[in-house]
Structure 1
Amino acid sequence: MPKPAFARTRNGLTQLIPPTPLSRRLSLQSLLFATGEGTFLTGSAVFFTQVVGLSAAQVGLGLTIAGVVSFLVAYPAGRVVDVLGPKRMWSAGALLAALMFGLWPFMTGFSAYLLMVILFEIIENAAGAGRNAYILDVMPEQERVRTQAYMYSALNVGFTLGAIIGGVALAFDNLTVLRWMPLLTLVIGLINAFWIARLPRASHDERAAKRDRKIKAEPIPGKGPLHNFGWMGVSFFSGTMWTNQVLLNVVIPLWLVEATDSPHWLLAWLFGTNTVMCIFLPAYTTRGIHTLADALKAVRISGAFFVLSCLITMGTHSTSGLLTVTLVWLGHVTVTGAELAISASSWAFQAELMDPRRRGEYGGVQEVFATLGGRWAPAAYTFLALSWHGPGWLAIAAIVVFATAGMHPAVRAAEAFLAREVPADVLARDRPAPEEAAATVA
């Protein structure tokens, strides 16, 4: 992966601004999406329990069933992306998801909730599959990782704005306000869908347009991702590495409340620190990711931060006072470091290890195996940490060390598969020569 020109010339605070017009448009889209979703998610627990009248158990059951259905349709959705084109899939999914928010205020009972949440999960995941394929398709190879870093920062800004808006709505303590709050998300979602529709076509969209015009599109020769055991392994181990989110959002907060003497207000500082770091640091943490070797180094860094977080947090069971507060906060900071490092490497793996002709299909397989690699973690990590204490934290650390080690042969196997199954000219078109890359961003 050649080093882009803008990475050599931009520094300081200018690194926080997306460097190209298209990356700025994509970052603004991320901001719109996250603001709308964040607005609803902030008050969703109150909305479902007090407006719709569901119990907490019903809400959790519905989300679990929707997650299972979404898992089952992930691979077919990826195949559809390659047929319809990523931008069309993304735009249509964003529009349908936005329109569904217009139905939330009229929802009554568990059956309606279950139907809605399943449909919404399927639509959003299909849109996400289109989005991921589109970014890899439309961006020059040397800009893909950095662009996704800027979009990640914009998502965190958007969710923060959404949380503020949702918090204002909750402050009214009025069920009528909460009932109609999804309509604000509907409006923002429609603007987001319009913005996506205005983005330029990607190469897979041109292929889909040929089908629409009855122009014969050549079938893709060779083997797909279900034959690529290396890619399945990369996806599985990535799912395990991404269980840093379980530590971040579930285990450490529960540990703080049940196993330490830390004040509960510390939770706000923990999540605030994570948000600030994820807004300002991704543009910097991706600067050194130019090759698969760089990405694997980031995996090792992520694993080291993860293990360090386990060790630091484990020690807080026997400390007290200000020392406990400091160590819990450091545990949260280090697990955020794990998040930032695995983010950068994951984007590089997507850019370098997918067959450029089958990105939707590869994305579907990635979703399936990443789910297998990490969906079990909330129950397992909570049990290990809160029931076994010290040995439990060491077991969590050992799981992450295993995933870090396993990522290396998986990446090499996926790289070998591409070299064997994808024609060199296809890879060359997707990865321009260094002089062409420099001209693209000059």
Structure 2
Amino acid sequence: MTMMKRGAGGRMSEESEAGPQRALIVASFVNRVGNGLFNAASILYFTLVVHLPATQVGAGLTIAGLCGLAAGIPAGNLADRYGPRVIWLIAFAVQAVSMAAFVLIDSWLVFVLLATVDRLAATAGGAAGGALIARVSGERPAAFRARLRTFVNLGVVMGTLGAAVALQIDTRAAYTALILANAASFAGAALVVLLGVPAYPPLPRPEQHRRWSVLTDRPYVSFVALYSAMGLQYQTVALLLPIWLSAHTDAPRWTVAAVYAINSGVCVLLQSRLGSKVETLRQGGRAFRLAGLMFLLSCPLMALTADVPAWVAPVLAVLAVALHSLGEVWESSAGYALGFGLAPDHAQGQYQGLLGIGFNAGQALAPLVLTGVVLGLGHTGWLLLGLFFAALGAAATPLVGWAERTRPALSAPDAPAEDSADGSARLSS
């Protein structure tokens, strides 16, 4: 993040920042537990309980996801103008209501309308939430963001485990409980933020600021494209590898559950340790490059699970996912450092809005790319995917150099080491 200075509208003192940070971590954890509860069972609820055909559910979610992208920059501008907390609270209130209303749907049209409202609010909340993180991050933003993502990952894991109970019960009441619990998580997270996070006033904006100025910031737009494309790596483990293991290998079925557990475990255990070291722009560029190299190693290993005996395939899959998860930690840490660090303090909401749009669009296209191209090419597809990730990672270093040349205030020419652990090359706007 571009660092906010001490004083009016600036960075909090070390003593005063701990409370808001804890509140935001707790709120994010509560919300992600609810997300884990809902996401693990949502498709089954819509198809088995509401009796919507799977194709209609997929089409409805695609429509809702595409419509939701429209809220990113406008919501970010509102967060910059009125303060991020109020926009974040409104977004979560809307999601709490729309999520609870899912228990009442009885037709595809109602499903699409509610899903669209939910996605619009989610995108708005993402933009405002990013700006709020920027204001709460304190004197050591990388360490805070790493802790935050650790608890976010842990929340999703706990929610998913809770959903497993409802899936085993497999009744309408059980699925309804999951949906209402997710709705309650939005309300609970909002309450924690309302009570524990200050209502930061908007930061002063320069005269040249425009509501769409992020679109003219070519280094940042380029970073959004880079980060969104690298986001395919999330679906590589969540979607592509399970399909590959099931259809192209002799690995036992429990291998799919094992790789999910390894992925979550590595991210939870290493995010704080590694992510707290990725502070400056140059550290972010280096972490992005390391992530690409990890993915270059992991993707061919995933492909090789089809060429080994049944007892070797799970071992190879676990090794591949462990490497991939290490890359995910580096990639997410780089995303924080560059996504916040390249954005001016006064326009964090707008910039985070564009970043969310790009990332969500990439996730929407991921199934088509991974199943249509990579699976279609088999082993060659896996190798090309790894090379693609490595190329994206390598592009981060020149992108950071370009960004620094266009943002003289972000450079730290007098720093003795570009990756100083104490933040001597820390950014300021």
Q: CA deviation at 1:307?
A: 0.5
Equivalent residue for 1:52?
50
1:36-435 maps to which residues of 2 (within 5 A)?
36-140=34-138, 142-201=139-198, 205-207=200-202, 220-222=207-209, 224-371=213-360, 375-419=364-408
Q: CA deviation at 1:180?
A: 4.5
Q: Report the more deviating stretch, 284-293 or 243-252.
A: 284-293
| Conserved 8 A contact 2:66-2:361 | no
Structure-1-length-normalised TM-score: 0.84
Structure 1 residues 222-249: Cα deviation after superposition (integer angstroms, max 9, x where no partner): 5622121001111111112221112111
| Conserved 8 A contact 1:236-1:372 | no
| Conserved 8 A contact 2:45-2:175 | yes
Q: CA deviation at 1:376?
A: 3.0
- Matched residue count: 400
Q: CA deviation at 1:76?
A: 2.0
> Matches of 2:423 and 2:379 in 1, distance apart?
50
Q: CA deviation at 1:103?
A: 1.3
| Conserved 8 A contact 2:224-2:359 | yes
Equivalent residue for 1:214?
none
Q: Report the more deviating stretch, 32-41 or 403-412.
A: 403-412
Structure 2: which 5+ residue stretches go unaligned?
Answer: 3-16, 412-421
Q: CA deviation at 1:183?
A: 2.2
What's the % identity of the aligned pairs?
A: 24
> Matches of 2:301 and 2:423 in 1, distance apart?
43
| Conserved 8 A contact 2:292-2:391 | no
Q: Report the more deviating stretch, 224-233 or 175-184.
A: 175-184
| CA distance 1:75–1:188, shift in 2 (3 Å) | closer
Determine helix, strand or coil for the equivalent of 1:338.
helix
> Matches of 2:380 and 2:166 in 1, distance apart?
43
| CA distance 1:81–1:258, shift in 2 (3 Å) | same
Q: CA deviation at 1:434?
A: 7.0
Q: CA deviation at 1:114?
A: 0.3
| CA distance 1:290–1:181, shift in 2 (3 Å) | closer
Structure-2-length-normalised TM-score: 0.86
> Matches of 1:372 and 1:106 in 2, distance apart?
29
Structure 1: which 5+ residue stretches go unaligned?
Answer: 3-18, 209-216, 423-432, 438-442
| CA distance 1:102–1:87, shift in 2 (3 Å) | same
Alignment RMSD: 2.6
Q: CA deviation at 1:161?
A: 2.1
Q: CA deviation at 1:406?
A: 2.2
Determine helix, strand or coil for the equivalent of 1:281.
helix
